[in-house]
């Protein structure tokens, strides 16, 4: 994490008047930033719809240029119905020509074939061409985006709303990683004859060769689509699809800080998903794939500078300039994970009128009984906190030793400017490290505008041991003496 965040966190702790004791052997204290709220991911078996891995998959996120997948979906629909043809000539309107980069750059009044406009949208991620397509199909961008939202509902994307055809910043336009996986499955399922547009490596137009913004397509690992996306608000997003040994996996990652680190993370998640498939095909029983991912550090490598602390920024996606820090922190995952997508349009009734999307309120993560690492994921969908505690207290211990009595020591795992972010991070750490914080209480304290994520009521030994474990997993923490 950069020096600016480190200084902010230490200053906040001084203002709060806390006395801190770093864990033995732990790195210098660094807090998770309040900027760390955009990451989300999901890995899906494209054939069955099984969710192999998810992380904040239902949390509200900005789709950026992955929006263009839905734009193209509606164009594919119009092509199949005969309403438009690939040879149609589209005229660039002043509104389309005025769109900011990334763009093809045609002037108002110029024309382009529908085929080339789609290629520009898919390969170049051209914002102007997405609007050209929207206006040609829908009459106006506003009418087209209303249809986009209606189609999202029809496909089962219940937490998505579109207000632009190209994904440029608009706080009203939101989606989730899960919804984008539904859209990715739908476009290759419903329009396989046109899905190739989303996997073109390059495109030659008007004397210039344009390279696809999705760098994974050229890696030779079976990647064949789908779309990148970037705005300052969204971070670096990628919906990716790969086919290996006759099996297809879709991976969505949102909120990256650079093209390179995002691509590396997608590749790791994808590789882990295919490893699950390979082991299953060899007869190994992996009933809960999420546990397989978690045992490997949530699909993040043990690199000295892992994606959890994105350190570099680039504009390789060609979709905007600048970036702000993002790490893997957000709201807790949902209690249930749907795995099926609504049937193809031919089997569905007419879509309902678009409706406003209301942000989903997710219940806090609840503490379950202590489990072995192999069963971490199975506990995510467990009963209430009260039930879990009762079961834990009444059960006869088998392999566990007696737990340390409660104390007055505290472990702090972050300080944030937003209370919601602080609480989300606290819930996330609690979920990932149940064993270390089984007897601790979760508390978010406000100190001069900084919200501190803390586990309280611990003994000194338990607090030190927990912080050491977190540090080994590169999660920042501090041990706080009793006041």
Structure tokens, 407: 């104390």
Please confirm, yes or no, whether 102 is among the known catalytic residues.
no
Q: State the catalytic residue, choosing from 34, 125, 323, 430.
A: 125
Calpha distance 190→449 (Å, rounded) = 50
Structure tokens, 194: 């046109």
Q: State the catalytic residue, choosing from 37, 41, 68, 379.
A: 68
- Asked if 71 and 189 touch (Cβ cutoff 8 Å), the reply is no
Q: State the catalytic residue, choosing from 54, 65, 181, 323.
A: 65
Please confirm, yes or no, whether 65 is among the known catalytic residues.
yes
Nearest to 180 by CA among 158, 196, 202: 158
- Collect contacts of 27-31 with beta carbons under 8 A, ≥24 apart: 27/471, 27/476, 29/476, 29/478, 30/1, 30/5, 30/6, 30/476, 31/1, 31/5, 31/6, 31/414, 31/415, 31/416, 31/476
The set of residues, in sequence order, having a beta carbon less than 8 Å from that of 462 and lying 6+ positions away, is 404, 407, 409, 436, 439, 440
Calpha distance 368→438 (Å, rounded) = 8
Calpha distance 417→127 (Å, rounded) = 34
- Asked if 411 and 480 touch (Cβ cutoff 8 Å), the reply is yes
Calpha distance 425→332 (Å, rounded) = 8
Nearest to 234 by CA among 331, 319, 350: 319
Place of tokens 């879509």: 351
Please confirm, yes or no, whether 68 is among the known catalytic residues.
yes
Calpha distance 254→400 (Å, rounded) = 39
So which residues are the catalytic ones? 65, 68, 125
């Amino acid at each position: 994490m950069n020096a600016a965040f480190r200084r902010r966190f230490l200053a906040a702790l001084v203002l709060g008047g806390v006395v801190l004791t770093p864990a033995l052997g732990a790195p210098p204290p660094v807090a998770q930033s309040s900027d760390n709220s955009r990451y989300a991911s999901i890995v899906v078996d494209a054939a069955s719809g099984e969710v192999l891995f998810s992380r904040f998959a239902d949390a509200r996120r900005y789709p950026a240029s992955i929006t263009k997948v839905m734009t193209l979906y509606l164009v594919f629909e119009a092509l199949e119905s005969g309403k438009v043809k690939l040879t149609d000539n589209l005229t660039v309107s002043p509104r389309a020509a005025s769109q900011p980069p990334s763009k093809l750059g045609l002037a108002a009044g110029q024309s382009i074939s529908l085929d080339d406009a789609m290629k520009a949208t898919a390969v170049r991620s051209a914002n102007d061409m997405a609007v050209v397509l929207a206006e040609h199909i829908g009459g106006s961008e506003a009418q087209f985006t209303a249809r986009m939202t209606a189609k999202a509902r029809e496909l089962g994307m219940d937490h998505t709303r579109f207000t632009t055809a190209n994904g440029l910043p608009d706080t009203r336009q939101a989606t989730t990683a899960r919804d984008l996986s539904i859209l990715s499955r739908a476009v290759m399922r419903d329009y396989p004859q046109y899905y190739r547009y989303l996997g073109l490596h390059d495109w030659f137009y008007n004397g210039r060769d344009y390279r696809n913004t999705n760098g994974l397509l050229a890696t030779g690992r079976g990647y064949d689509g789908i779309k990148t996306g970037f705005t300052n608000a969204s971070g670096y997003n990628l919906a990716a699809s790969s086919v290996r040994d006759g099996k297809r996996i879709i991976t969505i990652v949102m909120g990256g800080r650079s093209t390179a680190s995002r691509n590396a993370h997608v590749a790791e998640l994808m590789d882990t998903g295919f490893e699950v498939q390979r082991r299953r095909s060899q007869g190994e029983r992996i009933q809960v794939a999420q546990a397989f991912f978690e045992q490997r550090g949530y699909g993040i490598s043990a690199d000295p500078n892992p994606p959890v602390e994105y350190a570099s920024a680039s504009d390789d996606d060609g979709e905007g300039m600048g970036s702000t820090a993002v790490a893997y922190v957000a709201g807790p995952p949902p209690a249930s994970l749907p795995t099926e997508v609504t049937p193809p349009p031919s089997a569905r009734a007419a879509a309902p009128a678009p409706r406003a999307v209301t942000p989903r309120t997710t219940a806090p993560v609840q503490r379950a009984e202590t489990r072995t690492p192999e069963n971490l994921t199975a506990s995510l969908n467990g009963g209430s906190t009260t039930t879990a505690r009762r079961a834990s207290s009444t059960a006869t211990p088998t392999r566990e030793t007696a737990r340390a009595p409660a104390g007055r020591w505290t472990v702090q795992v972050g300080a944030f400017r937003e209370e919601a972010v602080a609480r989300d991070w606290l819930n996330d750490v609690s979920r990932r490290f149940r064993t270390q914080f089984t007897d601790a209480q979760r508390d978010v304290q406000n100190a001069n505008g900084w919200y501190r994520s803390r586990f309280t009521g611990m003994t000194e030994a338990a607090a030190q041991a927990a912080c050491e474990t977190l540090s080994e997993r590169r999660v920042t923490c501090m041990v706080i003496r009793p006041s």
